[in-house]
Structure 1
Amino acid sequence: MRVLLIEDRARLRELLGEAVREAGWRVDAVETAEEGRAALAVVDYDLLLLDLGLPDEDGLDLLRELRAGGMAIPVLVLTARGAVDERIAGLDAGADDYLVKPFNNGELLARARALLRRAPSSAMPILEYGRLCFDPATARASCGQEEIPLSPRERAVLELLLRNAGRALAKRKLEEAFSEFGEEKGANAIELAVSRLRRKLESLDTGCDLVTVRGVGYLLRETGS
């Protein structure tokens, strides 16, 4: 799952980005409404975290514009504007939920998960292959009834492999998935994440093998196929 965070305060942007990554989601964090528009034009996001006090324009105006243009992804507004009429204005502008600063990161993530659960089921289907199961909304991986503890990078690799199960996944696709705005992940980081994920899967009865396809990338296939 990929999240766009539009927040002008650098330290808060950094802290929220860390919290979202620790939850197992990828995040692109930008400072202005214009940067947010540019990101939304090129990436299909699953959730938007939107501050209203942006340096170049009011976040509510951006939200109204996005909704008028047909953008349907869930939007969680983050703001210091806590008066009742201000919360009403945010919801009427198209927000799906409204969180007043200061807030607890645990509550932020819980509200984000709730929004994703309410999204159309076709948008965030549970991914299954062999005995592996991955829920993109919660970033929870499991084998049968056993949860698989994974790092954020391992979860990103597994999600992409499951979305392409039975087909070779080009290493380039993993490089794109590992890339967030301002932070490029190299081949070594990908190979390390794949290696660690492979070891964890091999210790379980997943019914799947994670194999390297020389010169192409990686393949998740059913055991014995």
Structure 2
Amino acid sequence: MSAREEVLARLRAALAAAPPVVPAPGPAPRRHGDRPPGHPELVELLRRRLVDYRAEVHRAAGTDVAGTVAGTVAGILAAAGARTVVVPAGLPAGWRPGTVEVMVDEDLPAARLAEVDAVVTAAAVAVAETGTIVLDAGADQGRRALSLLPDLHVCVVRPEQVVGIVPEALDRLTLDRPLTWISGPSATSDIELSRVEGVHGPRRLHVVLTDG
């Protein structure tokens, strides 16, 4: 037997003794949180994460949800000195503050949106673990420019929209829609980590968490 044949024989013997190859498993199942959407612990976690990101969080408690939201929004705008606010066409009428000039967005030009003091929108979903609010250009959220150009963004989030982790949020979203992921006010840092807010979005983010 030549050296070559001896090496090949040893390889065949080793392969014959090796355990069978098990096919690789399919994609891992998507992991979900251990608490249902809207669980009080998730809402509280979202609040803490948002505060960490320098957003201001307000609780709109009470049985008259619309009236409480409108009052809370009016208080935020008054404290900020806002006199004009733009809202998407689908925002519930009861959420609109009556204390300032309210403009309904009907394809307002970008220059006009940039002049408005504030915008009020709803949300599509919120992720507690990451402190992220997602807008999907729904009727109560409006087009992406609406939440990027005004300096102050007031976003209303309902508890049933709060999920634990990102995969749960993705399950609720239509991924071919224009999505805006918001984790606190717009901010960036230079090489020396000097934080600058408002570079590519609102400098101030206020989140109103309702009770229902």
Normalising by structure 1, we get a TM-score of 0.30
Normalising by structure 2, we get a TM-score of 0.31
* Higher Rg of the two aligned structures: 2
